[in-house]
Amino acid sequence: MKATRTLLTSTAVTLLALTFSGFSHAATNPAQPGATPGTQNNNVPFVQPAQTTLKAAQGIHLIVDGLHLSLAGIVFFKKPEATDYFALAKNDAWYANDLIVAAHNGFDLPADLQPDQVWTKEVFIHQLMLALEKHSNLPMIKIAPKDFTDQDQVDPRYQGTIQRAIVLGIVTLDNDGKLHPKDALTQEDATALIGHAVDYAKTHPGPSDQRPAQ
């Protein structure tokens, strides 16, 4: 009887792992420069112009897609749902899998996340940098904070990630030395920032033993 129970348990875990491995598939297609959610490549059922103001769900999708984030290596003992992590999400919405992936890949998202809330530039940069640093093999370097004209407008919670993004060249200031952290971001601008982040990670590899565990 004990052997039978062990076999059933092992089989159940294997079936769960195989079943839930499919959830990572939608997060493996990289975003291309200028691409917007809704194209056939990323399986998102809506089409919007690149200049459309970025909302939380769209921003999360772009980061997950652009950084190739997934649920690979994670075993679930029940089917994961977006509402397991974010109470205001909808489990049948197009973004549901992206939220699940984000919850396991270093994002700093509140439990009461509103998927349709407009994301400002500082929020997007913060989430992008956290996901990039967790997922990519970046070198450990000490940075000297850079002063910029409107740094007093940056939310204190985001100062560290924004400073790193500026110093590493992932984010650039305008001709007046301003970041405009409270401005809404377009999907086109968000895609460009992801491209800069990916380029930096490719050209600045760090020691393999510094790579965070997935």
**Which among 5, 12, 23, 18 has a CA at the least distance from the CA of 97?**
23
- Pick the range with the lowest mean pLDDT from 32-36, 80-84, 149-153, 156-160: 32-36
pLDDT (mean) for 180-195:
95
Indicate the average pLDDT of the chain. 80
Position 212 in a domain: no
> What percent of the chain is modeled with pLDDT above 90?
64
pLDDT (mean) for 74-100:
96
Q: φ, ψ for residue 147 (rounded to 5)?
A: -75, 140
- Pick the range with the lowest mean pLDDT from 35-39, 60-64, 144-148: 35-39
Give the tens place of pLDDT for each residue, 6-39.
343 443 433 344 444 444 433 334 333 333 333 3
Range of the domain at 54: 2-205
Position 213 in a domain: no
Comparing 30 with 45, which gets the higher pLDDT? 45
- Pick the range with the lowest mean pLDDT from 38-47, 90-99, 168-177: 38-47
How many Å apart are CA 144 and CA 213, to the nearest integer?
27
Q: At what angle do helices 96-103 and 56-66 cross, to 10 degrees?
A: 60
> What percent of the chain is modeled with pLDDT above 70?
72
How many separate domains does the chain show? 1
How many Å apart are CA 110 and CA 126, to the nearest integer?
13
Position 189 in a domain: yes
pLDDT at 49: 66
Work out the widest C-alpha separation in the chain, in whole angstroms.
Answer: 75
Position 211 in a domain: no
Q: For the whole prediction, is pTM greater than 0.85?
A: no
Position 9 in a domain: yes
Position 214 in a domain: no
